[in-house]
Amino acid sequence: MKAVRYHQYGGPDVLRFEEVPIPEVGPEEVLIKVSATAFNPADAMFRMGLLKDMIPLQLPFTPHADVSGVIEKAGESVKGLKTGDKVFAFLDMTRNGAAAEYVVSKAVDVALAPKNISLQDAGAIPGTATTAWQGIFEHGKLQSGQRLLIVAAAGGVGSFALQFAKWKGAYVIGSDAEETFSKLKELGIDEVINYKTESITDQVTEKVDVILNLSPIDPGDVTKLLPLLKKGGTLVSTLNPADENVAKELGVNAVTMAVQRSAAHLSQIAALVDEGVVKPFISERLPFSNLAAAHEKFGQTHGKVLILVDSSLD
């Protein structure tokens, strides 16, 4: 099969198209014929070696943890999934990923894909939607009628968090670049803040229950968001942490999250997609042959960049 691999950490130029064997399937695993994969910032961070001390990869390595596709083969102990099922998954980032014609995953990480969008578009959902779901509901405990502030609302994670929060019945304020505002309004946002020209702390005049920080601001600036929370409220950050001592003094919570793979969450998300209340914000679709272009756009994208590996699987 064709796979993209890197043999050393580095820039997008380390990505190489190679012929490699189709991976073997263990008893509790499935082999997925890849329809599409999406680019996540973490794919670039792993490729650059920024995470290698914490999470060393076995090189050469095939990146990309988001996948949609069709099950080609299910291991003998797999229950609930079979050959021919259309699926999507957030893959284990430490194993060879979906920048390839086939990928192997633990079956427990795989869910049936939503049916009312194309299988390819489903590839834009797994990692970022799972992060958004866990960020606002599991860590933030967001409830109907509450106020949510999303810092970086138009990225992959933010655009899902916004839609999940509106489905839940929350009021959503989001900051991002001005060119994303029409998309954010289409996705249901209540208030927008232009992070390039406006100060969030000036613009948010009524306190919020939950803050989801998805921006790369430094810990001092994350901490400055804490006074925007109501007493008992929670700031969830996917990047730099807020100062927990300041949080304690203010009577609020500060959490730094690490997303966990969850087929159960993907199934709930697929149901919302099928109900038509959530859709992926796909800003660009690239052919598999141009996968490196997605990596070159690291830090400059809004929504998701989708890589179409096999357009016949749709």
Ligand X SMILES: NC(=O)c1ccc[n+]([C@@H]2O[C@H](COP(=O)([O-])OP(=O)(O)OC[C@H]3O[C@@H](n4cnc5c(N)ncnc54)[C@H](OP(=O)(O)O)[C@@H]3O)[C@@H](O)[C@H]2O)c1
- Residues binding ligand X (CB under 6 A): 40-42, 128, 131, 151-152, 154-158, 175-177, 195, 214-217, 238-239, 257-259, 300-302
Q: What is the DSSP string of the chain?
A: -EEEEBSSS-SGGG-EEEE-PPPP--TTEEEEEEEEEE--HHHHHHHTTTTTTTS---SSB----EEEEEEEEE-TT--S--TT-EEEEE--TTS--SSBSEEEEEGGGEEEPPSSS-HHHHTTSHHHHHHHHIIIIIIS---TT-EEEEESTTBHHHHHHHHHHHHHT-EEEEEE-GGGHHHHHHTT-SEEEETTTS-HHHH--S-EEEEEE-S---HHHHHTTGGGEEEEEEEEESSSPPPHHHHHHHT-EEEE------HHHHHHHHHHHHTTS----EEEEEEGGGHHHHHHTTTS-SBEEEEES-TT--
Q: How far is the CB of 239 from ligand X (least distance, A)?
A: 5
Q: How far is the CB of 244 from ligand X (least distance, A)?
A: 17
Closest CB to ligand X among residues 220, 232: 220
Closest CB to ligand X among residues 78, 228: 228
Closest CB to ligand X among residues 77, 199: 199
Q: How far is the CB of 192 from ligand X (least distance, A)?
A: 11
Closest CB to ligand X among residues 68, 78: 68
Closest CB to ligand X among residues 144, 300: 300
Q: How far is the CB of 205 from ligand X (least distance, A)?
A: 18
Of all residues in this chain, which one has the CB nearest to ligand X in the complex? 155
Q: How far is the CB of 85 from ligand X (least distance, A)?
A: 26
Closest CB to ligand X among residues 168, 224: 224
Q: How far is the CB of 139 from ligand X (least distance, A)?
A: 10
